[in-house]
């Protein structure tokens, strides 16, 4: 809460800090460098956040059933609606379940592949690195369209599987989407972890090798602890991505009737704003952004504390 509030409350004057300071000599150049980005950041980041909060505090009132609508200050009325909205919380629960399963699977696979690439056991490293990274070039919408076809029983090359299991049914579609996300992002996460591994000097492993530690022991006791910061970073980005899930489920609505218009929190925001009920949609947005912020922040703090011990 406080974090987001401080982002909003920053006075605009701080964006052009040319007065005072220690290196006054070059002070004149600073606004030239900072103001263009700063201005756009204020206009298209801070103002929208502030505006969403303001909008979420209003409510639309009508005089009579068909009377003219007007916006009046409603306090926390919209937030009360958010907290009473069953489908919204069901969608939060759904993406949390999704995240608890998909993020560890995806990062686990990325870690294993990065360790294998780094282990010296694999020939043709360059080829595999490229092959695993290719899906990252494909935007979520297109990836979801491709997999949507691949899951469809009558088109799929996986016919033996898709005729036995309906991936687009209510029971499986969440995991079908999880597979699309995993497919796109494993290579990207693998590359982050792999570049962290490359940064470790070889001498670090020498001593362990002389002591007779095998590759698995070295990976477990030396490599993984060393690349922990990279894993934490990818986890935070994955948590953010999971709570924001939108494009893939939105596409899957064309393939599967099991994906409702409130399937994920962001779909709820979109559906509510199409009604249109902008005030409620703004309240959903604010709650979702806060939840994302708190969750990724808490994870960062949690891992930092563990790192100290």
- Kindly identify the residues of this chain, within the stretch 108-127, that bind other proteins according to CB under 8 A: 109, 112-113, 116, 119, 121-124
SS3 35: helix
CB of 218 to other proteins, least distance (A): 12
Stretch that binds other proteins, among 59-67, 76-84, 86-94, 279-287 (CB under 8 A): 279-287
Stretch that binds other proteins, among 3-11, 59-67, 100-108, 162-170 (CB under 8 A): 3-11
> Binding to other proteins (CB under 8 A): which residues in 138-157?
138-143, 145-150, 154-157
Is residue 204 near other proteins by the rule CB under 8 A? no
Q: Which is nearer to other proteins, 66 or 209 (CB)?
A: 209
Dihedral sign (CA 11, 13, 15, 18):
negative
> Binding to other proteins (CB under 8 A): which residues in 218-257?
229-230, 233, 236, 240, 243-244, 246-247, 250-251, 253-254
Is residue 173 near other proteins by the rule CB under 8 A? no
SS3 73: strand
Is residue 298 near other proteins by the rule CB under 8 A? no
CB of 288 to other proteins, least distance (A): 6
Of the candidates 260, 244, 252, which has an alpha carbon nearest to the alpha carbon of residue 180? 252
Is residue 3 near other proteins by the rule CB under 8 A? yes
Q: Among residues 96, 270, 271, 303, which is the contact residue for other proteins, using CB under 8 A?
A: 270
By CB under 8 A, the count of residues binding other proteins is: 110
Of the candidates 120, 138, 255, 250, which has an alpha carbon nearest to the alpha carbon of residue 186? 138
CB of 287 to other proteins, least distance (A): 10
Q: Among residues 80, 195, 221, 257, which is the contact residue for other proteins, using CB under 8 A?
A: 195
Compute CA 61 distance to the chain's CA centroid, rounded to the nearest angstrom: 36
CB of 54 to other proteins, least distance (A): 9
Is residue 74 near other proteins by the rule CB under 8 A? no
Stretch that binds other proteins, among 63-71, 86-94, 202-210, 273-281 (CB under 8 A): 273-281
Q: Read out DSSP for 273-306? A: HHTT-HHHHHHHHHHHHHHHHHHHHHHHHHHHHH
Q: Which is nearer to other proteins, 122 or 170 (CB)?
A: 122
Return d(Cα 273, Cα 78) in angstroms, integer: 13
Is residue 275 near other proteins by the rule CB under 8 A? no
CB of 23 to other proteins, least distance (A): 5
Under a CB-based contact definition with an 8 Å cutoff, are residues 182 and 176 in contact?
Answer: no
Q: Among residues 12, 36, 70, 169, which is the contact residue for other proteins, using CB under 8 A?
A: 36
Is residue 14 near other proteins by the rule CB under 8 A? yes
CB of 69 to other proteins, least distance (A): 15
Triad 228, 209, 199: Cα angle to 5°: 35
Please count the residues of the chain: 309
Helix locations, 47-172, DSSP H: 47-56, 77-84, 86-119, 125-133, 140-151, 159-162
Q: Among residues 79, 89, 172, 293, which is the contact residue for other proteins, using CB under 8 A?
A: 293
Return d(Cα 195, Cα 119) in angstroms, integer: 13
Tokens of 175: 């995991």
Identify the helix (H) or strand (E) that includes residue 2. helix 2-9
Return d(Cα 147, Cα 166) in angstroms, integer: 13
């Amino acid at each position: 809460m406080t974090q987001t509030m401080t982002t909003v409350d920053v006075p605009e004057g701080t964006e052009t800090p040319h007065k005072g300071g220690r290196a006054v000599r070059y002070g004149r150049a600073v606004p030239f460098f900072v103001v263009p980005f700063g201005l756009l950041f204020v206009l298209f980041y801070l103002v929208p956040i502030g505006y969403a909060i303001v909008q979420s505090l209003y409510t639309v009132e009508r005089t009579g059933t068909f009377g003219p609508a007007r916006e009046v200050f409603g306090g926390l009325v919209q937030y009360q609606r958010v907290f009473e909205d069953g489908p919204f919380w069901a969608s939060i629960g759904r993406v949390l379940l999704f995240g608890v399963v998909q993020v560890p699977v995806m990062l686990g696979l990325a870690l294993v592949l990065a360790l294998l690439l780094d282990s010296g056991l694999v020939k043709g490293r360059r080829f595999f690195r490229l092959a695993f990274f290719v899906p990252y070039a494909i935007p979520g919408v297109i990836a979801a369209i491709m997999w949507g076809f691949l899951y469809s029983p009558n088109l799929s090359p996986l016919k033996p599987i898709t005729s036995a299991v309906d991936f687009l049914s209510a029971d499986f579609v969440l995991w079908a989407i999880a597979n699309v996300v995993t497919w796109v992002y494993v290579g990207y996460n693998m590359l982050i972890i792999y570049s962290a591994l490359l940064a470790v000097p070889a001498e670090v492993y020498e001593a362990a090798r002389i002591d007779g530690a095998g590759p698995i022991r070295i990976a477990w006791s030396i490599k993984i602890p060393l690349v922990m910061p990279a894993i934490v970073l990818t986890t935070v980005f994955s948590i953010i991505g999971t709570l924001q899930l939108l494009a893939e489920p939105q596409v899957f609505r064309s393939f599967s009737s099991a994906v409702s218009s409130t399937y994920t929190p962001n779909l709820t925001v979109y559906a509510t704003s199409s009604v249109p009920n902008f005030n409620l949609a703004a309240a959903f947005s604010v709650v979702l952004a806060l939840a994302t912020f708190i969750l990724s922040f808490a994870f960062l703090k949690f891992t930092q504390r563990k790192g100290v011990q």
